[in-house]
Structure 1
């Protein structure tokens, strides 16, 4: 499996869907009144084996050595050497374990989205306070954001990086201002001066399309030097593009 965080996040979502389908399949078996109980639960051993595979995949993706319970399938009786109440009990245990696995996976994905929201709110509330003079270049806003990230306890090179991750899209090279790998997030800064409103909107639209190929989440920080009159109108089309957030900070 690829090591980058975007691939891992996609893999988690695929695994989440697989576990959900697995739980539904077991539930269908347990509630299938059209099949006699003597033959209804004969797949219990195969289901336990499948659950073990799903749990192992989750363990690798979430990097937790012993978080999930697994079944010793080798010591289980075969369907021909067991009675249906035993088979049903094992299948119910597999179902409960799979439901717990599903909750853990769901929670790990929600955590990333929560952190994305927290970071957005943090930058929105703090950025203006750390810029003392009217910025003349975007790098000044970038420097202010980096100071906020460091102040939040993030470490450069591990928690975040700056102007790395270059890639090519439609014949053009893109380098995000910041990336936060564990959130599968890129951050792009725009300094909005007089006469640049249309240009900035065009740049953001192009960036959204390109960055969507590499990053699960995108955050655009627009530092406005008195150009934007209607924030809702400015952000409307941008934030409708998917998992994209826009911060507007006025000087």
Structure 2
């Protein structure tokens, strides 16, 4: 059993490697263009899914017809594991953010695999339990973190997931998300995200080129952020990532 780091409420936890291997061996691959709907709110699922390449997001729809992004599904993530056993209409959709390769494994194959290896059910329960932990973590983040701290935490979580290393004091983050989508996930509006990013740009600690965001190490080394505005003030402090006071 591996130890996980503190949960990031905007990134789904990775599946156990056994499930990834199983789904790629027994499942069916499908290729989705960026912006494709993989599953829709109201569907009753008969398959579990595995993101092998690309990126997707959970979205929740509103009666007005609008929708918002909730959390990211990066490579190595599964979705639909709970709904295939519940057999009730799902309350969210999955939308691809990149051209993606996603495998599906039928409910019959999932059940068969669990009968063959009961430990797979434990891994599945662990993954679902961790998702609950992430949801609870989200309440804490929204309640106690300023918008700037949330945005920095979002970027630092993605850097860790992508195993980005520093080059000349900069970290290059692959980012195919709009400011509106980022805001939806961290619980602020697009204007707030834009304001914070523009402030970072003026301070020379953030830049965007194409689909890559470049984050300066000074930002990740926890220059103080004003808790009301979320803006960088330039005073040295320990890293917000490590949580050192």
Kindly indicate which of the two structures has a greater share of residues assigned to helix: 1
**Which interval holds the TM-score relative to the shorter structure?**
under 0.3
TM-score normalised according to structure 1 size: 0.23
Which one has more relative contact order, counting CA pairs under 8 Å at least 6 apart? 2
Q: Which has the larger radius of gyration?
A: 1
